[in-house]
Amino acid sequence: MKHCSKLTAAVTAAVLLCACTPQDSGSPAVTDQTKLSDVTTLTDVTTLTLATALTDLTTLTEATALTEGTTLTDLTTLTDGTTAASRSESAVQTTTAAGNVTEIKDQRDVLDIFAKGSKSALTGKGYVFARSGLNLRDKPSASGKKLTTLKQGTEVTVRSVTRANVQGDFDAEIWMEVEAAGKKGYVSAEFVAFSCTDKPESLSDGQRAALGVLLFQQARKLRNYFFQEGGIRATGLGQSDTEGWCAVEPKSMTLAQVKADYNTYFATEIWGGLDGVYKETGGRLYLQPAMPENPYTDHEELTKITGAAADSLTFCMHTKWFTTGEFVMVTENDGVTEEPFTVKYLDGTWKVTDFTANL
């Protein structure tokens, strides 16, 4: 990046107003909770200290030093040898050697952030894929009053998500606040294929956690539908042929449509590719039901946000395997494995890009 010898007018004003001590022009310092925003560029070994907040496309260049709890948010770009040191326990991000990639440090558990009973604003469009329809209720609970039943294929506008306040250590019962069929209410997120359109720089820690939990739940459910149920637009499976392949209903379903739907939510292949479990014969689409999830797992959950870039989030996926019985799948670490679960903002929506457990 080209070396700059002067700060922008915005930074000059910030230094004049907020710096605690006179600074040499060759090594300006911005201190005491100064807020830098609106495409500010900081150069020439600038030192940021005392919980400075960097926001709104701030660019840090030329060996900028970040110290004492500086918070990096909203698409901050770190380049050209930026360093991070002396961070406080409240800090959640430090730079990596790559410069513009962020590793999350000292992050609380995802389900502590997106706790039971909590609500988080997440917006976008959803698609109902419940074969018998999905109940729209007046509150985020199965005990809520039913307002109407949304048919298979109904498009909904999503406004927020709520983690139900239910019992259990590994539950993640999520409800969506939606608008559909001229009504507003709540539906179980389990049967909605959600395309979240919130931009990465707009998401708070709470929204990041909620998005990860929601897309993790959705990915597991959608994977099952694509590989066992004929796709999210299918209404069911019909008669099987002599080779055990089942006809997908309705008759108008095509492999191209299934692939297009799959690519809406997943950016990479998760289970060997759709071509291995679908075929088109005699003008009909057939499915050979597969087992996308290993049946020998006790539970799966997300534990922490482990990494973040300008357009992606990576979570730690914790899987507990059964280690007794006829099949012993995992014997190390008491049957516990940890793998990444990664989502990325692509083409204006969040998609799953890394989902490796139970395959």
Could you tell me the CA-to-CA distances from 200 to 115, 196, 350 in Å, in that order?
21, 10, 9
The percentage of the chain sitting over the pLDDT mark of 70, rounded to a whole number, equals: 59
More confident residue, 348 or 70: 348
pLDDT for 220:
86
Rounded Cα distance, 156 and 186, in Å: 11
Question: 57 with 20: CB under 8 angstroms?
Answer: no
pLDDT for 294:
58
Rounded Cα distance, 103 and 82, in Å: 14
pLDDT, tens digit, for every residue of 175-219? 999 999 899 999 999 999 999 999 999 999 899 999 999 999 899
pLDDT for 115:
84
Q: Which DSSP string do the residues of 181-220 spell out, in sequence order?
A: TTEEEEEEGGGEEEEE---GGG--HHHHHHHHHHHHHHHH
Rounded Cα distance, 238 and 221, in Å: 21
Close Cβ partners of 311 (under 8 Å, ≥ 6 residues apart):
200, 344, 345, 346
219: its two tokens: 């990915």
User: What is the distance of C-alpha 164 from the center of its chain?
Assistant: 19
Rounded Cα distance, 147 and 129, in Å: 18
pLDDT, tens digit, for every residue of 89-139? 233 343 333 334 455 555 668 878 888 888 999 999 999 999 899 999 999
Strands 83-85 and 93-95: unpaired
Mean pLDDT, the chain, as a whole number?
74
The predicted model scores a pTM of 0.68
pLDDT, tens digit, for every residue of 7-24? 333 333 333 333 333 344
The percentage of the chain sitting over the pLDDT mark of 90, rounded to a whole number, equals: 41
- Sorted by where each begins, the domain ranges of the chain are 9-104, 112-212, 232-287, 297-355
Supply the CATH classification number for the domain 112-212.
Answer: 2.30.30.40
Buried b (16+ CB within 10 A) or exposed e, 201-235: eebebebbbbbbbbbbbbbbbbbebbbbbbbbbbe
pLDDT for 172:
65
pLDDT, tens digit, for every residue of 25-57? 444 445 444 445 444 445 444 455 444 455 444
Segment 271-283 shows an average pLDDT of 87
Strands 93-95 and 71-72: unpaired
pLDDT band at 160 (very low <50, low <70, confident <90, very high): very high
pLDDT for 346:
96
**Dmax (CA) of the chain:** 84
More confident residue, 80 or 344: 344
pLDDT band at 156 (very low <50, low <70, confident <90, very high): very high
